[in-house]
Structure 1
Amino acid sequence: MKITIVGGTGLVGQGILSELSKDKSLDLHSISRNGKRPNSITGITYHSFDLAHDTNWHYLLQTSDWVIDCIGILFPNKSKNQTYENSSIQPAKLIIDNIVDSDNKFLFISANSAPFFLNNYLQAKRTVENYASRKLGNRAISVYPGLVYSRFRKSNYYP
């Protein structure tokens, strides 16, 4: 089974890949802007693509059994020009539009609650869920993992 994680070098993507890599029968791929990192997991094929400007990633997604979307930001960052629209919603729409005519499954890592100051974050998640559902029907699956943390990222592990 071929699984491609878009956003595979981020906190959530790396966590999913770490667990999936225990099953050696899986063909695992990661797509991110930077490709492989120094702490990347062995056995994963890492790809470096800019979703908005490259098209080489299209075939990879279309030939995957599962596409898992882990792209997104928790907080906007004006200095990096990161908004929920350009860093969470638009990449998801590109992914969904690319696989709409395929027969694979789309797994979206969403959220079902957050503190009041993350209302725009939750709205971005709902926007992607609704778009995926409209375009992919029952091939779109959203999961709500709850609190996400890593012992390797001290800023979120200790609290």
Structure 2
Amino acid sequence: MIIRDRELPVLELLRRQIAGVATEDELSRFRYPTAISRTLGIRLVAVELGSATVEIDTDPAIHGNQQGTVHGGLLTELADAAIGTAHSTVVGPGESFTSIDLRAVFLRPVWEDTLRATARPVHAGRTITHYSCEVVRGDGKAVAVVTSVVTTLSAARSHGR
């Protein structure tokens, strides 16, 4: 973890980014948007303490599997981005986090569409938090439900993360 002079709390920076008022010199202790989100085109659209919503525009020509539908790995990554963003808003100074379990249930196929993933905690303990994330199509129908267990790392366990 690198400490910077103009470091903002994660939640404040993310809210400023969504509002379109964040400047390039405004940073937080975590990198946002993440490299994988930039690469895939995942956008943060809403954030609150412990919850986050992200979107992506899908195209089977780019995100497709052998059947011509959007690959399940992309749906899982979208949910993981929402879950990680949600958890980053609740970790304290000197803490970091990592997923220790991630499970996806796929409900229906997706082709070209805008997908939205919303992550919320189901149970938050001192170090372990359980999340549920629903991924929906533009018509509001669920395409996947992803659950995750995230552990908060403190002190030496968080070093370098």
Question: Would the TM-score normalized by the shorter structure come out above 0.5?
Answer: no
**Greater strand percent: which structure?**
2
Return the index of the structure with the highest Cα Rg: 2
User: What is the TM-score when the length of structure 1 is the normalising length?
Assistant: 0.29
**Greater helix percent: which structure?**
1
User: What is the TM-score when the length of structure 2 is the normalising length?
Assistant: 0.29
